[in-house]
Amino acid sequence: MRHTLSTTFLVVEEVANEWIVWMKFNYIEAIKKSGLAENLYFNQVIGAEQEGGLTFSVLAVFSNKQQEQTFLDTLDFELTNLINKTFPNKVYPFRTNLQEV
């Protein structure tokens, strides 16, 4: 049964364009290279604009819970720290775990 990790990011508008490029070449690329996720989707959430910020989502689809947990225990922590160092107080992520039914 596939598992999906949805990571939603609230991004301060002034850094949004720079952050999008950074995400494509760093965050997304690192997940692809890890081979843990079957599929990745990087989207802007439409109609969820916050004052001064934009909302984006990364959906990482894993073939099983073990791959998802491996990602959470290793790469997720590293990438979250890198986002915080690169965009301090500008990007606010939160995660939702989904299971296929």
Q: Where exactly are the structural domains of the chain? A: 7-99
Query: Rounded distance, CA 58 to CA 23, Å?
Result: 10
- Looking at the chain, the number of H-run helices and the number of E-run strands are 4, 4
Tokens representing 69 are 């947990």
**pLDDT average, residue stretch 7-11:** 94
Query: Rounded distance, CA 66 to CA 89, Å?
Result: 32
pTM (whole model) above 0.85: yes
Under CATH, what is the fold of the domain 7-99?
Alpha-Beta Plaits (3.30.70)
Q: DSSP string covering 27-65, please?
A: IHHHHHHHT--SEEEEEEPTT--BTTEEEEEEEEEESSH
Residues 43-79 have pLDDT tens digits of 999 876 667 799 999 999 999 999 999 999 999 999 9
